[in-house]
Amino acid sequence: MRTCRSFCLLMLLSLLLLPGCWNSRELSDMAIVIGIGIDKIPDTDQYRVSLQIVNPGSVVTSKSGSGGQNLMPNVVYSSVDHTVFSAMRKSSQKVPRRLFFAHSQLLVIGEALAKDGIDDLFDFYERSHELRLNTSVVIAKGTDAESLLRVLIPLQTTTTTAITGRIKVTSESWAQSVDTTISDIVKSLVGEGAPVISGIRVTGNPSKGQKKENLEQSTPLSNVETKGIAVFTDGKLAGWLEGKSARGAVWALDKMKSTIVNIDCEDKKDAMAIEITFSTTKVKAHLINGKPSFTIQVTEEGNLSETKCPINPKTHEVIAKLQQQLAEETKKEIELAVKAAQLTRSDIFGFATVIKRTYPKDWKKMKENWPALYSESEVKVSVKAYVRRTGLRFKSYIKPKEE
């Protein structure tokens, strides 16, 4: 009996040592911010910060299938102030709940602000205990961040999830965009290179895209799409890489995961499609008569996925020709990207880091004049391409044309 009493007393005393929920926050009291947009007010030093907040009532009712059909999936609140953080806090005057940033997935930067400079935008992200450094970053191409966040997009609960989903899918399957995080940008800003950030543009009618009717159309009145890669010089937007030059940049940056390359077949242009399944890139630096030069070496593998001409890739000669064509197309696109980046003096490929690591003493002499040296540097591209598979058949059913 005495042992039992002692045990019970010990258990009661141990309750005093258990932590409580003194600082807990109820979900019903929070406004969950999932997307942040930053714009610069023209002719001022002030920022407009837009917060995209999930409408919990819309999410719950859409999943349950009952009521709430007229609720907007998300709400955007904007405020203006001299610093980004103060503008964010200022928004609390408009929001009926406490702002919660831990689930923020996206940072949208307006194109005008990107041209003015982005060096000062990320300090508050690094200091915050709530904001995440793995947040994806995009540039609102041809518009401002607030307008982009206000577009309602079908098939997704919020604009933020739609944009982050597009960036992830297109960077992995089409390779004309990059999934850049705040951490990536900060590393490039404090290092010797320049950041690269994907662009997102609004298509269709932007004003109608902000209304609920945009979600009720089989063909949306307005939508958003990934468009190009923004390149920066001295922290300012210097230009855009689009199409093949954007894909060439992805190859050179060693971020290629998969894409489709069209090559010619006999007299037909772009008549064969090869899916890239593997790619790796190495950059080497050289000094020739005191001047820097670079070699970009790419090794890639792919599968023949489609052909519109009579081809039999069973023979070694045919495979060898396919590999040569693939290598030539890859080389051409990388050279397009390098040329475009050199014209803007934007070292997006981190050549400065490579030369600094390889020739640290010489780098000290080059550092002050690096933009000019970089823009004039010789860059050679070497590609080894391998076609591994041809699908479920060798010889195409397409018959050659009779002479």
Q: Which two tokens stand for residue 286?
A: 């050289």
Q: Say which residue the tokens 């790619």 belong to.
A: 279
Per the structure, the complete domain to which residue 81 belongs is given by 27-242
Residues 185 and 278 in one domain: no
- Give per-residue pLDDT as tens, 317-328: 999 999 999 999
Separation between Cα atoms, residue 74 and residue 157, nearest integer Å: 8
Residues 236 and 248 in one domain: no
Separation between Cα atoms, residue 40 and residue 44, nearest integer Å: 8
Residues 256 and 153 in one domain: no
Please list, in sequence order, all residues whose beta carbon lies within 8 angstroms of the beta carbon of residue 214, skipping any fewer than 6 positions away: 151, 152, 153, 154, 208, 220, 221, 222
- pLDDT reported for residue 262: 97
Residues 232 and 250 in one domain: no
Q: Say which residue the tokens 């390098």 belong to.
A: 338
- Give per-residue pLDDT as tens, 185-234: 999 988 888 999 999 999 999 888 888 888 888 888 999 999 999 999 99
- pLDDT reported for residue 67: 44
Q: Where are the alpha helices (DSSP H) in 128-278?
A: 145-150, 159-173, 182-190, 206-209, 244-252
Q: Where are the alpha helices (DSSP H) in 191-301?
A: 206-209, 244-252
Residues 308 and 324 in one domain: yes
Residues 200 and 123 in one domain: yes
Between CA 245 and CA 255, with CA 250 as vertex, the angle to 5 degrees is 175
Whether residue 280 has pLDDT greater than 50: yes
Does some domain include residue 294?
A: yes
From 218, 242, 266, the end of a domain falls on 242
Residues 186 and 316 in one domain: no
Does some domain include residue 7?
A: no
CATH number at 289 reads: 3.30.300.210
Overall number of domains in the chain = 2
Separation between Cα atoms, residue 226 and residue 35, nearest integer Å: 17
Separation between Cα atoms, residue 175 and residue 168, nearest integer Å: 10
Residues 231 and 291 in one domain: no
Nearest to 121, CA basis, from 164, 44, 32, 182: 182
Confidence category of residue 311, pLDDT binned at 50, 70, 90: confident
Does some domain include residue 215?
A: yes
From 210, 242, 274, the end of a domain falls on 242
Separation between Cα atoms, residue 139 and residue 241, nearest integer Å: 13
More confident residue, 300 or 124: 300
From 242, 267, 288, the end of a domain falls on 242
